[in-house]
Chains A and B, each alone.
Chain A
Amino acid sequence: MSKTAEHAGLYGYLASFDLVDEFLVAATRVRDAGYTHWDAHSPFVIHGLDAAMGVKKTVLPYIVFVAGLTGAAVGILLQWWTNAVDYPFLISGKPLFSLPANIPIAFETTILFAAISALVGMLVLNRLPQLYHPLFANRSFKRATDDRFFISIEAVDPLFDPTTTRELLESISGRPIEEIEDQP
């Protein structure tokens, strides 16, 4: 809709907090206010914040599970095809293909695939790396990795309204609300 056009050049508002519990309460407020394009920033994981924000459970585990299965399959098939099909050779009178001897490598490939998918999956789902972000332009936001907690509401949020949103944030944060502009 046209809202975005109105707030051209504006990324959103940023409220900051000093204490964990204020922060949690604020999060619940914003959540209850029905905002969707907003985020909370903290220097470390705060248990309960997911619920407070109403974040949905990630699909990452399923990705990793599938990757793991793939790894196992690759491991077994590789060993079976190379040693028993493509170029079978007689080794110590042992069978060409016997699971016990092939488990260690299958296991390792399973782990390898799963582990890589876990990191890559996390980054992809998080849209990282993303070196540029409007928030980085804000000096005080630098403390998001240090000792301060922030809530940012984006201008693209359907409910975003310069005044009401600002009021909401002011009401929950003792501090002045900062405008984050979005350079073209």
Chain B
Amino acid sequence: MSSMNHHNGMAYWRSLDELEQTAEFREAVGREFPNDDWDRLPPATRRQFLKVMGASLALAGLTACRWPKEEIVPFAHRPEGRTPGVPQRFATSMEIDGVALGMLVTSFDGRPIKAEGNPLHPDSLGALSAVAQAEILQLYDPDRSRRLLLREGGQQYVKDWNEFESLAGGLFSGAGAAVLAGAFSSPTLGALRERFLTAHPEARWYEYEPISRDNEREGTRLVFGSMVRIHPHLGGAEVVACFDADPLFDHPAALRLVREFAAARNPESGTGGRLYVGESGFSLTGVRADHRVAVASSRVPALLAAVANSLVAEHGLELPAAAAGFAGATDHSATDDERHFVDLLAADLMTHRSRSVVLVGPRQAPAVHALAAVLNHALGATGSTITYTADPSPDRPSHLEAISDLARRIQDDEIETLLILGGNPAYDAPADLDFADLLAGVPVSIHLSLYDDETSKLCTWHLPASHSLESWGDGAAWDGTLSLRQPLIEPLYGGRSAIEVLAIAADDGPKSGYELVRESLSGRSGIPISGDFWRRALRDGVVGQSAWETVAPPTDPAGLASAVDGLRELLEVGRPTTEHPELVLVPDAKVFDGRFANNGWLQELPDAITKITWDNALLISPATARDIGVSDSEVASVEARGATLDLPVCVVPGMARNCAAVALGYGRAAAGQVGNGVGVDTYRFRTTAAPGILSGVAIRGTGRSYELATTQDHFAIDTIGFSERNLRVADLVRETSLDAYLENPEIIHEQEHHPPLISLWKDHEYEGEQWGMAIDLNACIGCNACIVACQAENNIPVVGRQQVLNQREMQWIRLDRYFKTAPGVTPDEVDDAEIVFQPMTCVQCENAPCEQVCPVAATQHTTDGLNAMVYNRCIGTRYCSNNCPYKVRRFNFFNYHKDLADTTKMQFNPDVTVRSRGVMEKCTFCVQRIEAVRIAARNDNRPIADGEIMPACAQTCPAEAITFGNLNDRSSDVSRSREEHRSYAALAELNIRPRTHYLARVNNPVDGMPSSVEGAGDHGKESG
């Protein structure tokens, strides 16, 4: 029972130097997280026994000694409401690109150990993305900067906050002062900005984010005359058309959209919204498309224009007069697939007027967004499938304009003092600005940042920032809901938040974040800051009813006219060719714009589509690869916009012809031990002129090869394996079409052909609670959130690129990704494919093959039907893994916790044993959560309620795809989903009776009768 010695969690409330210096702390941590000490130094009993055995065998008496003594350090004064060893949860929020995301953070004896979604938050609804969950690890990152630095004349001096404060007063008065902030939604920061600008009237204020939705914003301005924010609602949508858009993943409200989408797609209860996607490469939305066409991003405008044209010409849709020009713009070079797609979509949109929505991705030009807005307007989507709110900062110039303007002024030596609040412009500013060089020339530059990163190293001052889990703050959700942020722990490294620093700059004197937030909150009109209100707001993490009013803006003819012209220009662009392919720069699904590069969980998280870890790669389709003459894992030299980079090629189906994509955010030089030198810095391609879509690039093979660390074998595979895999997928990941399903719900069982599953012996009777799980493949969108949740909950180690290459990744959940191609297609004929996901983790077989082969009974069945894995009994024969047909067991080939920093160890969940080397591990259905609830329930003599136990993965799943509960309770959710027609067990024919069932995926294509759903079949033909 290790929880006793967690009292010394209090130690972590102290300051940095104590963290650093006191030996007790190290001891404490060492004791508290005995990585594998306990197997070298087993508990007294066994160790002594052993010793004496050994000694006596040597025929020499030997006195045994007790293993290292442990200390118990209780509080001197126990804080109110604090019970040692009992985790507490606090509502807080984090901000990415100026949108606040609400979360509930579990704190164990003062150490935040896990981040989950805040059910009350509109953009979270209890779910949390992989990236947001990984914040916890970033908090404890030992590479975070720990001191203020002053760099002068090649020298580097360590300073403290007082020195900075005393100096800061004078810095910003007079012309030439400027602040470069990131996008933000924090009212407090907003208020401080006003205060700063009033204090220093001549100072300038800039906001820059490399990744933004500025084009969408600008597009709406063109249509409505004023900027508005778009809020799609997929719940009631019958038809969703996405053009280079990924609403299910890269939208700020993605978690909510996924929830709505999954609900709509449920064949029993949903509206069965049909999804059309035209995009250059697979997005998670594209994976779920019922009709998908791969078109180069530069051709997406043409595709949308064609739809508009068809709507007007063939279906008589009426556009606003000024927008009529949109329809005129036709594209004659469309391929058959594109035409097919356009015809289906246009007809569908028309039949489902006002129940349909058209979405365009942030990478597309404003004019395209404008067209989409016009169509939505004309189709009567406004108010039903799409709503608008006024843009929170309408007068803000676009981020690119802002950074360009700043760059120009620096060039003209107009900037004397530059305060950079967060961000990393030296790394991610457009390449053509040479921002790094310019920054170096600024007389006084101050960078507030979590890390002493690329930008800090070029600034005169570096200020350590406090992490969002260490600081007070606030922000607005995508819909404007006010979300509060409260610290869960004192700043580990003595950092301060942006508002605290800005307060100093605004000559508002050093104030605590707490004061500042309360001030601004009370400053906001209409909200009395009473004790009650404050407590409730803190408890909920959000202020109820604080979302912005929706607006129904009228269209603006002038803007529309220019939008039409803009679109016409876009249509001039020709198709990319083999000689001049197109390159699309996409924000990374894991490290985003590069800010999370030093986060091991995210770096090791396999990309949903390519399964690549620890790298970014040049994604191109098999056909394009053949044309260009590069092969998978070959290093290609890519030339674009004057820069030439060597990128490893990853051949992946579903990319548009002659179109390549590569992720931003890699190749960091000063990210930290984890992130440095991982991947290639593709910002070097990114210019103000072409931030996202680069046409006319040059791709050449170099003949050199580079092995990408993927968690599944590359797409490149020998013919035998390839064809066998295609044969098996149909049975493993079952899917059908809605039409076929409604006609014959049993259809997904028709492909089962195995003898009756009878066992040789009398089956075991399972009484009491019997835990089981159901995973709805129709809801899962493959967002990876479950993997990180599991990693955080279960102390799963990060093993690094080399070990992933050796196929020793440790994540308990494997998000299996299969490419489905038409039957008979050989590996080198494939160009397009359908993708299906299948989250695969231990399915807790009732007749588990792993159990009978373990010689020491380290894995055996519990009375509640779990396939228990007893780490401390395991001797590591690996026989269980060999005999596991799902290969979901993970082995500690080394002691992966040996070199962890003390701070990193603070993240560990004390209710889960930290595994030593030589020990097998696997998913346990979060048995620690089961036991916790069971004990609590038994303590007050009540049954366990359905849904009371939530495994980490189920808890965080935005699509609510994972159901967990008691199989012996006929009324439990899991039992009911088991009885659905769609329910099946993978590899059921082995008669191992998995406790986890899958619910088949149901697609909803036009005319989805069995004959026409070869699924992959017609996909294969499309854009083939």
| A residues at B contact (CB < 8 Å) | 89-95, 98
Can you show 16 pairs from A to B with CB atoms below 8 A apart? A89-B857, A89-B860, A89-B861, A90-B764, A90-B861, A90-B862, A91-B852, A91-B860, A92-B847, A92-B861, A93-B761, A93-B763, A93-B846, A94-B847, A95-B761, A98-B761
Interface flag for B851 (CB, 8 Å): yes
Interface flag for B849 (CB, 8 Å): yes
Residues of chain A lying within 8 A (CB to CB) of residue B761: 93-95, 98
CB atoms of A92 and B852 under 8 A apart = yes
Interface flag for B759 (CB, 8 Å): yes
Q: Knowing that A89-B861, A92-B861, A93-B846 are A-B contacts, what are 5 other residue pairs whose CB atoms are under 8 Å apart, sorted by A's residue number?
A: A92-B845, A93-B759, A93-B761, A93-B764, A93-B847
Residue of A nearest to B849 (CB): A92
Contact pattern, B 842-880, Cβ under 8 Å of A = 1, otherwise 0: 000111110110000100111100000000000000000
Interface flag for B762 (CB, 8 Å): yes
Residues of chain A lying within 8 A (CB to CB) of residue B764: 90, 93
7 closest Cβ contacts across the A-B interface?
A90-B861, A92-B852, A93-B847, A92-B851, A91-B851, A89-B860, A93-B764
Chain B residues 763-801 with CB under 8 Å of chain A are: 763-764
Residues of chain A lying within 8 A (CB to CB) of residue B852: 91-92, 94
| B residues at A contact (CB < 8 Å) | 759, 761-764, 845-849, 851-852, 857, 860-863, 993
Residue of B nearest to A100 (CB): B760
Q: In the docked arrangement, what's the CA distance between A89 and B761, Å? A: 16
Q: In the docked arrangement, what's the CA distance between A93 and B844, Å? A: 12
Q: In the docked arrangement, what's the CA distance between A89 and B873, Å? A: 14
Residue of A nearest to B883 (CB): A92
Q: In the docked arrangement, what's the CA distance between A92 and B994, Å? A: 11
Residues of chain A lying within 8 A (CB to CB) of residue B857: 89, 91
Residues of chain A lying within 8 A (CB to CB) of residue B846: 93
With most chain A CB atoms within 10 A of its CB, the pick from B759, B763, B851, B993 is B851
CB atoms of B762 and A91 under 8 A apart = no
Residues of chain A lying within 8 A (CB to CB) of residue B993: 93
With most chain B CB atoms within 10 A of its CB, the pick from A94, A95, A98 is A94
Residues of chain A lying within 8 A (CB to CB) of residue B851: 91-92
Q: In the docked arrangement, what's the CA distance between A95 and B860, Å? A: 13
Residues of chain A lying within 8 A (CB to CB) of residue B849: 92
Q: In the docked arrangement, what's the CA distance between A93 and B846, Å? A: 6
Residue of A nearest to B861 (CB): A90
Residue of B nearest to A98 (CB): B761
Residue of B nearest to A91 (CB): B851
**Shortest CB distance A75–B (Å):** 16
Residue of B nearest to A101 (CB): B852
Residues of chain B lying within 8 A (CB to CB) of residue A89: 857, 860-861
Residues of chain B lying within 8 A (CB to CB) of residue A92: 845, 847-849, 851-852, 861
Residue of A nearest to B852 (CB): A92
Q: In the docked arrangement, what's the CA distance between A20 and B764, Å? A: 71
Residues of chain A lying within 8 A (CB to CB) of residue B759: 93
**Shortest CB distance B38–A (Å):** 23
Residues of chain B lying within 8 A (CB to CB) of residue A91: 851-852, 857, 860-861
Residue of B nearest to A95 (CB): B761
Q: In the docked arrangement, what's the CA distance between A92 and B761, Å? A: 11
**Shortest CB distance A91–B (Å):** 5
Q: In the docked arrangement, what's the CA distance between A22 and B763, Å? A: 74
CB atoms of A95 and B762 under 8 A apart = yes
**Shortest CB distance B814–A (Å):** 23
Q: In the docked arrangement, what's the CA distance between A164 and B266, Å? A: 113
Residue of A nearest to B848 (CB): A92
Q: In the docked arrangement, what's the CA distance between A94 and B846, Å? A: 10
Residues of chain B lying within 8 A (CB to CB) of residue A94: 761, 847, 852
Residues of chain A lying within 8 A (CB to CB) of residue B845: 92
**Shortest CB distance A95–B (Å):** 5
Q: In the docked arrangement, what's the CA distance between A105 and B851, Å? A: 19
Q: In the docked arrangement, what's the CA distance between A89 and B854, Å? A: 12
**Shortest CB distance A184–B (Å):** 37
**Shortest CB distance A135–B (Å):** 37
Residue of A nearest to B992 (CB): A92
With most chain B CB atoms within 10 A of its CB, the pick from A89, A92, A95 is A92
**Shortest CB distance A100–B (Å):** 9
Q: In the docked arrangement, what's the CA distance between A176 and B862, Å? A: 84
Residues of chain A lying within 8 A (CB to CB) of residue B862: 90
Residue of A nearest to B846 (CB): A93
Residues of chain A lying within 8 A (CB to CB) of residue B860: 89-91
**Shortest CB distance A99–B (Å):** 12
Residue of B nearest to A83 (CB): B857
Q: In the docked arrangement, what's the CA distance between A98 and B847, Å? A: 16
Residues of chain B lying within 8 A (CB to CB) of residue A90: 764, 860-863
Q: In the docked arrangement, what's the CA distance between A93 and B847, Å? A: 5
Q: In the docked arrangement, what's the CA distance between A92 and B852, Å? A: 6
**Shortest CB distance A105–B (Å):** 12
Residues of chain B lying within 8 A (CB to CB) of residue A95: 761-762
**Shortest CB distance B985–A (Å):** 15
Q: In the docked arrangement, what's the CA distance between A94 and B763, Å? A: 8
**Shortest CB distance B78–A (Å):** 41
Residue of B nearest to A87 (CB): B857
Q: In the docked arrangement, what's the CA distance between A44 and B762, Å? A: 59
Q: In the docked arrangement, what's the CA distance between A16 and B857, Å? A: 65
Q: In the docked arrangement, what's the CA distance between A89 and B845, Å? A: 16
**Shortest CB distance A89–B (Å):** 5
Q: In the docked arrangement, what's the CA distance between A124 and B763, Å? A: 52
Residues of chain A lying within 8 A (CB to CB) of residue B762: 95
Residue of A nearest to B857 (CB): A89
Residues of chain A lying within 8 A (CB to CB) of residue B861: 89-93
Residues of chain B lying within 8 A (CB to CB) of residue A98: 761
Q: In the docked arrangement, what's the CA distance between A162 and B861, Å? A: 81
Q: In the docked arrangement, what's the CA distance between A89 and B868, Å? A: 11
Q: In the docked arrangement, what's the CA distance between A114 and B698, Å? A: 80
**Shortest CB distance A12–B (Å):** 43
Residue of A nearest to B761 (CB): A95
Residues of chain A lying within 8 A (CB to CB) of residue B848: 92-93
Q: In the docked arrangement, what's the CA distance between A92 and B860, Å? A: 7
**Shortest CB distance A167–B (Å):** 58
Q: In the docked arrangement, what's the CA distance between A93 and B766, Å? A: 10
**Shortest CB distance B691–A (Å):** 57
Q: In the docked arrangement, what's the CA distance between A94 and B857, Å? A: 13
Q: In the docked arrangement, what's the CA distance between A91 and B852, Å? A: 6
Residue of A nearest to B853 (CB): A92
**Shortest CB distance A86–B (Å):** 12
Q: In the docked arrangement, what's the CA distance between A89 and B849, Å? A: 15
Q: In the docked arrangement, what's the CA distance between A91 and B761, Å? A: 13
**Shortest CB distance B885–A (Å):** 13
Q: In the docked arrangement, what's the CA distance between A8 and B857, Å? A: 67
**Shortest CB distance B771–A (Å):** 15
Q: In the docked arrangement, what's the CA distance between A90 and B849, Å? A: 12
**Shortest CB distance A110–B (Å):** 21
Q: In the docked arrangement, what's the CA distance between A92 and B762, Å? A: 12
Q: In the docked arrangement, what's the CA distance between A93 and B867, Å? A: 11
With most chain B CB atoms within 10 A of its CB, the pick from A89, A91, A95, A98 is A91
Q: In the docked arrangement, what's the CA distance between A79 and B976, Å? A: 42
Residue of A nearest to B854 (CB): A91
**Shortest CB distance B767–A (Å):** 13
**Shortest CB distance A14–B (Å):** 44
**Shortest CB distance A10–B (Å):** 45
With most chain B CB atoms within 10 A of its CB, the pick from A93, A94, A95 is A93
Q: In the docked arrangement, what's the CA distance between A90 and B862, Å? A: 7
**Shortest CB distance B288–A (Å):** 37
Q: In the docked arrangement, what's the CA distance between A110 and B293, Å? A: 71
Q: In the docked arrangement, what's the CA distance between A89 and B861, Å? A: 7
Q: In the docked arrangement, what's the CA distance between A92 and B992, Å? A: 8
**Shortest CB distance A102–B (Å):** 13
Q: In the docked arrangement, what's the CA distance between A95 and B761, Å? A: 7
**Shortest CB distance B761–A (Å):** 5
Q: In the docked arrangement, what's the CA distance between A88 and B846, Å? A: 17
Q: In the docked arrangement, what's the CA distance between A90 and B761, Å? A: 13
**Shortest CB distance B165–A (Å):** 65
Q: In the docked arrangement, what's the CA distance between A52 and B848, Å? A: 66
Q: In the docked arrangement, what's the CA distance between A89 and B764, Å? A: 12
